Amino acid sequence: MRAAVLLPRPASSLSLIDPPEDTEFRTYSTISDRAGCQNSVLDEPGSWCPMSTTDEWMQVDIGSSLDVAGILVDVGGVSSGMIRVFTKTADSKLVDDLVRRQGISHKSRRRWCV
């Protein structure tokens, strides 16, 4: 899986924040040691693969307090499933949203905008 954060911009456009893999802005519960499983940056080779299928997570930190318009998730060949999105508010409260989305085809991949 790969992911990035969408930020609202003036004039109803969006800006994408997609930090490099080798920074403190991307953290994971676990990472599989299989080939090609160590990268969650959009449009780069490979993807993040957890070691199991339960209770795994990826965190993309945008580095400061900003309004977030959504999250773009590339789930490879998966066409449906669940994503749990946690957002930290300005007063440091966590908002939990379990989301079920159908995939949207894009460049032979499935992408969800949450």
- pLDDT (0 to 100) of residue 54: 80
> Cα dihedral sign for 57, 17, 21, 72?
positive
Region 72-95: mean pLDDT is 66
Q: Which two tokens stand for residue 44?
A: 């780069």
Whether the predicted pLDDT of 70 surpasses 70: yes
Express each pLDDT in 23-50 by its tens digit: 899 999 999 999 988 889 988 888 888 8
Gap between the Cα atoms of 109 and 112, Å rounded: 10
Average per-residue pLDDT in the chain? Answer: 75
Whether the predicted pLDDT of 62 surpasses 80: yes
- pLDDT (0 to 100) of residue 33: 92
Region 69-93: mean pLDDT is 67
- pLDDT (0 to 100) of residue 114: 56
Domain ranges of the chain: 2-113
